[in-house]
Each structure stands twice: as C-alpha cells, then as structure tokens.
Amino acid sequence: DAGITQSPKHKVTETGTPVTLRCHQTENHRYMYWYRQDPGHGLRLIHYSYGVQDTNKGEVSDGYSVSRSNTEDLPLTLESAASSQTSVYFCASPHWTETDTQYFGPGTRLTVL
Amino acid sequence: SQQGEEDPQALSIQEGENATMNCSYKTSINNLQWYRQNSGRGLVHLILIRSNEREKHSGRLRVTLDTSKKSSSLLITASRAADTASYFCATVSRGGGADGLTFGKGTHLIIQP
C-alpha cells in the first residue's frame, strides 16, 4: 500500500446518486489505475491515466468516469450509482523500479442499495 | 475479459506442506505476475516472470512459466499460517504494462495450523 491512499474506506449509497471515490498517491508517478474486484471475477480494469489530463477506458468503464487534474490524484466518479456497481474498488500505481508491477491502495468497499 | 484462470479456486493444506497453484492465460504475454491479497487488504506483488524465462525463485516461492501451454504455476514451500490469503496471477500484454494488468479470478489458500 506504500504511497497510495483511498477514501472513503466504506460507503453505502442509494441507486441513482452520484458517488466519487478518491485515490491519492505520493510517489509522483504519472500512471494510475482503477480496478474493481467482485467475487468470481478477480480484478477488472475500469479506467487508467498516463498523466495529467490523460484518461483511458479499461475493460469495464461503462458507468464510470475519471479526471486527472494533477499527478497525485485520480478520482473515480459514478455519475448515477447502480446496484451492479456494488464492489470493492482498488487504485494502483506502478512500482518505480519495476514499472510493469503495481502497488495497490487499501481499497474502498462500495454498497449501492 | 479475464486473461488468467487460476486452479484450484480454493486450497486447504496443513502448515509445513507445499502449496501449488496454477494459472492459465489466453493471449501472448510480455510477463506474468503473482499477487497475494490478505483478507480485506489490497494486493501485494510477489514475483514477476518474463516470457523468455521458464523458472524463477524468490525465498519460499517458485514460479514456472510454460508459454507453449500458456500456463504458470506458483509453488509455496514449507507453508506457514501467515500464507493464508488469496493469490492472483496477472498478465502483461506484449505491448507492456502501461495499459494495466489482466487478472485471473484467484486461488484462496488456507493453511491449517
């Protein structure tokens, strides 16, 4: 978890409400990633960013958006939360010495009722 | 879509025994990695093996890679109670890791004291 914090740790929200999950990294790395983890699916990539003002869609990007206004933060927004978005969300950034490997944050558990 | 498939989905062994987990993947890779996830925590990188390597060791971990069969195995020798966790394989495509990792569904390992 070195250098990556996520907030909140837990969140319960209602269907149709907007939600923003936060990720902050102190390693000054340009690349950042968001994954979701669901039972029976492992981790799946939602969005990623190569740097400020850059965002890219991953495998399961529908219903999610990200913005990158500085190097340290990559907030993940659910414009209108759906029950199918109940999941555990992880933010990640590469290791400095082996850039193909990733450090993961501690995760945010989101429940959409 | 999921790249890796771990086998078995769950494994329970006695402390001191060896644990072997397998991973199969579908497309050509640059490298394959193994991660550990303790309950309620983020993923931690364990070991990376490149497509031109066949075997790699790190402490009590031994990883093999067979690119002709598109499969890898992770062996944990002399298991300890602290090894209880979920283990995931993740692949990086030929293009490199900038586009993120593709994870399997994981093997849940329980070490009985």
**Helix/strand/coil (H/E/C) assignment for every residue in B25-49:** CCCCEEEEEEEEECCCCCEEEEEEE
Using alpha carbons, select from A42, A41, A86, A40 the residue that is nearest to residue A63.
Answer: A86
Q: Rounded to an integer, what distance in angstroms lies between the CA atom of residue B101 and that of residue B78?
A: 29
* Candidates B44, B48, B98; nearest CB to A98: B48
Neighbours of B9 (CB within 10 A): 13
Q: Is A46's pLDDT higher than 90? A: yes
Using the structure block, give the residue that is written with the tokens 């994954």.
A35
Structure tokens at B37: 């996830």
How far does the CA of residue A28 sit from the closest CA of chain B (Å)? 16
Structure tokens at A81: 């939360």
Domain total for chain A?
1
CATH code, B11? 2.60.40.10
Mutating which of B101, B107, B108 best tests the A interface, going by the most A Cβ atoms within 10 A?
B101
**A97 by DSSP, 3-state: which?**
coil
Q: Containing domain of residue B56, as a range?
A: 5-112
Average confidence (pLDDT) over A18-29: 95
Low-confidence ranges of chain B (pLDDT < 50): 1-2
* Candidates A40, A101, A106; nearest CB to B105: A40
Average confidence (pLDDT) over A15-20: 98
Domain total for chain B?
1
Q: B113: which residues sit within 8 A by CB, 6+ positions away? A: B15, B81
Q: Containing domain of residue A49, as a range?
A: 4-112
pLDDT of amino acid A36: 97
Average confidence (pLDDT) over A36-49: 92
Structure tokens at A3: 């250098």
pLDDT of amino acid B1: 43
Q: Is A25's pLDDT higher than 50? A: yes
CATH code, A104? 2.60.40.10
pLDDT band of A1, cuts 50, 70, 90: very low
First to last CA, chain B: 37
pLDDT digits (tens, 9 = 90+) for A53-111: 999 999 999 999 999 999 999 999 999 999 999 999 999 998 877 778 899 999 999 99
Q: Is A4's pLDDT higher than 80? A: yes
pLDDT of amino acid B3: 60
pLDDT band of A2, cuts 50, 70, 90: low
